[in-house]
């Protein structure tokens, strides 16, 4: 028997629904979810609804957690291997069981769920109503500065006018907790001087407190997006500051992953 085998979960049985964060937008034609860390079977430090299969948790527990989320959600969750890059893929073309290496994805197929795993980086959900396209992006500072959003917009622009784009920003590490070095500030400010207002000097010399959600909203606004809801950089959206709800790699070091997803109906 493999060391990771967990007999209680070898025959999945009905389980309480994972707790889903309720304040996702009500957009006709699509569904969105944001899981929390609650409602699963993983043990400390992954307690309890860890969805990441790459963080050292027992595979059988992760599989049961994903089953519970999928059962509650009622759609086909398509996960990616996220690498803090800018690659975007269409999940409609992804074979069942294949995990694409990418940090953004889109779909025009009802029921296919663009899914982002999170432990501090910013998840963004997109909906282009007239074209019936949904998309999702994983935006840590490297991906955001590197152009993951711009790369996705180039792809979505073939389907319609991006001025109609609706965007929901999910939970991420907040500006009171995200200390970064000069190299991060430089990565944003060298290409956009206006980004400087999203960096406040930290107590430590040469360090800054960065507003990741604010930096994303700035890029969205500069690209003509006007419909933005969700993370406004306030404390209740901060993964680091809400340990009962969210995993946080920056806070815990060894950490699980929660997930955010969107699909057409």
pLDDT tens profile 171-195: 999 999 999 999 999 999 999 999 9
Contact 184, 158 (CB under 8 A): no
pLDDT (0 to 100) of residue 11: 43
User: Binning pLDDT at 50, 70 and 90, where does residue 18 land?
Assistant: low
Domains within the chain, CATH numbers bracketed = 24-173+227-264 (3.60.140.10)
Over range 228-235, report the average pLDDT: 96
Distance between CA atoms of residues 131 and 149, nearest Å? 18
Tell me: cis bond preceding 135? Omega within 30 of 0 counts: no
Provide the token pair at 111. 């029921």
**Pick from 114-118, 155-159, 172-176, 212-216: least confident:** 155-159
Task: Provide CB contacts within 8 A for 242, sequence distance 6+.
Answer: 171, 236
pLDDT, averaged across the chain: 91
> Is residue 12 over pLDDT 50?
no
pLDDT (0 to 100) of residue 165: 93
């Amino acid at each position: 028997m493999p060391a990771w085998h967990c007999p209680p979960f070898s025959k999945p049985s009905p389980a309480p629904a994972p707790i889903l964060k309720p304040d996702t937008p009500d957009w006709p034609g699509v569904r969105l979810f944001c899981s929390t860390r609650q409602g699963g079977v993983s043990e400390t430090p992954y307690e309890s609804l860890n969805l990441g299969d790459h963080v050292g948790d027992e595979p059988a527990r992760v599989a049961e957690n994903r089953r519970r989320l999928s059962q509650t959600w009622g759609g086909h969750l398509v996960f990616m291997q996220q690498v803090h890059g800018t690659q975007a893929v269409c999940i409609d073309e992804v074979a069942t069981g294949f995990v694409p290496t990418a940090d953004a994805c889109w779909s025009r197929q009802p029921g296919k769920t663009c899914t982002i795993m999170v432990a501090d980086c910013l998840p963004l959900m997109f909906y282009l109503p007239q074209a019936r396209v949904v998309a999702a992006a994983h935006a840590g500072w490297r991906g955001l500065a590197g152009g993951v959003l711009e790369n996705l917009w180039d792809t979505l622009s073939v389907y319609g006018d991006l001025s109609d784009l609706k965007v929901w920003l999910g939970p991420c590490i907040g500006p009171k907790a995200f200390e970064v070095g000069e190299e991060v500030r430089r990565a944003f400010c060298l290409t956009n001087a206006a980004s400087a207002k999203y960096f406040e000097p930290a107590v430590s010399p040469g360090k800054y407190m960065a507003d990741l959600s604010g930096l994303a909203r700035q890029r969205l606004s500069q690209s003509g997006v006007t419909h933005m809801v969700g993370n406004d950089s306030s404390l209740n959206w901060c993964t680091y500051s809400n340990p009962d709800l969210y995993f946080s790699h920056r806070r815990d070091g060894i950490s699980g992953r929660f997930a955010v997803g969107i699909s057409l109906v």
